[in-house]
Amino acid sequence: MKIDTQEILNKWKLYTLTNDNGMTVSFLNFGGIITDISVPNRHNQLENVVLGYKDYLDYEKNPNFFGAIIGRVAGRIQDASYTIENQTYTLVSNEGGHHLHGGDGGFHQVVWQASPFQTADTVGVKLSHKSLDGEGGYPGTFEVAVTYTLTNNNELILNYSGTSDKTTVLTMTNHSYFNLNGNLADTIHNHHVTMKSDEYVELNSELIPTGKKIDVSNTPFDFRNGRELVDGINSLSEQNSVANHGYDHYFILNQIQQHIISVKEDISGRVMTIKTNQPGLVMYTSNTLEDGLELAEGKSKPYLGVCFETQASPASLHHEGFPSVIIKANELYEKQTVFSFSIEG
């Protein structure tokens, strides 16, 4: 196992973790952006399974949030405002009249302090940041750490932790776009996803949660026994159409101790298993990804990747009955998501 470090553009560092199987994970200290995850296919060929820019300079703006740490709040906050403890806070409106993924100065555009580490069977980097009281419109000084750990079981473990000195709102995630075909050989239409979720959250035409939960039964949103993403991409259902013909919805995971999502791609044989202690996730099938961006393995186009944004729900700020994003002063925020890679057949 090893860690390699490379200077990028004389201002960032690129860390590459390598395990004893040859799997590699590369990421920047800027935004904690995962630029490459290379894992074998059934023919033992290592290929990249995430979307990333060809030119590192393109990460400065990164409007698609490729690979980045998202915070303080992942997802959309309606009307870019919320009220907690009888005080209303106004945030930056960076998507129409709404607030998306922490705003323009969110965690995806922060240079994090990096501390590499290695043990007998793991290698990783701890990323740390102090977000000051009032930054981006959020109350409380929040001291946060996100740790990326690679194991010899081909697991990438993401640990999030932190505390705020005031009651605040927080739910963090990683915004990697996965494509298990490898090296962008095809779109994600044929990816087969299984997750235990009985309900998803209805969206309005601006992709803001309406406050209504919808039973997945007999819809393209029922992944309890597995289905291919093409079902929703080609669906004429109102909710798939609202999301620009695909998925961009919050799925509430069933209340079991450890949530597990499985993603399979038959041609490569790759299987990605996601384990999380978050209460739900946004699954986004890159429906609105523009054509023609210069990515590491080719040009971008819609449906080239799928995001699994494990998180609580910012809809809880405006509606009852959703997983809360409020954390109390000095309460420890501690979440974990694990991406595991294997081969089937």
C-alpha span between 36 and 34 (Å, rounded): 6
Q: Which residue in this structure is represented by tokens 């010899």?
A: 152
Average pLDDT over residues 110-127: 97
Confidence of residue 257 (pLDDT cuts 50, 70, 90): low
**∠68-73-77 over CA atoms, to 5°?**
120
Q: Which residues of 50-86 are buried (b: 16+ CB within 10 A; e: fewer)?
A: bbbbeebebbeebebbbbbbbbbbbbbbbbbbbeeee
Are the beta carbons of 39 and 58 closer than 8 angstroms? no
> Which H helix or E strand runs over 242?
helix 238-242
Of 251, 71, 85, 40, whose CA–CA distance to 170 is shortest? 71
Residue 43 in this model has a pLDDT that exceeds 70: yes
Burial class (CB in 10 A: 0-12, 13-18, 19+), 201: buried
Average pLDDT over residues 319-338: 97
* DSSP per-residue string spanning 296-313: TTEE--TTS-BEEEEE--
pLDDT tens digits along 276-312: 999 999 999 999 999 999 999 999 999 999 999 999 9
Mean of pLDDT over the chain: 96
Going by the DSSP 8-state scheme, the letter that residue 269 receives in this structure is -
Of 155, 185, 157, 156, whose CA–CA distance to 41 is shortest? 185
Residue 246 in this model has a pLDDT that exceeds 70: yes
Residue 103 in this model has a pLDDT that exceeds 60: yes
C-alpha span between 54 and 296 (Å, rounded): 4
- 306 forms beta bridges with 178
Which residues are annotated as catalytic? 175, 309
Longest dimension (CA), the chain: 59
Are the beta carbons of 72 and 142 closer than 8 angstroms? yes
Count how many Cα atoms sit within 13 Å of the Cα of residue 314 in the half-sphere of its side chain.
31
DSSP strand pairing (294-295 vs 298-299): antiparallel
For residue 336 the two structure tokens come to 């974990």
Assign 255 to helix, strand or coil: coil
Q: Residue 263: CB partners within 8 Å, gap ≥ 6?
A: 178, 180, 191, 192, 193, 194, 271, 272, 273, 274, 306, 308
Residue 185 in this model has a pLDDT that exceeds 80: yes
CATH numbers and ranges of domains, the chain: 2-181+264-343 (2.70.98.10)
Cis bond before residue 72 (omega within 30° of 0): yes
The model's pTM is: 0.97
pLDDT tens digits along 230-239: 999 999 999 9
Residue 39 in this model has a pLDDT that exceeds 80: yes
Average pLDDT over residues 170-191: 98
* DSSP per-residue string spanning 142-181: EEEEEEEEEETTSEEEEEEEEEESS-EE-B-EE-PPB-TT
C-alpha span between 95 and 289 (Å, rounded): 15
Average pLDDT over residues 21-36: 98
Q: Which residue in this structure is represented by tokens 């490729």?
A: 66
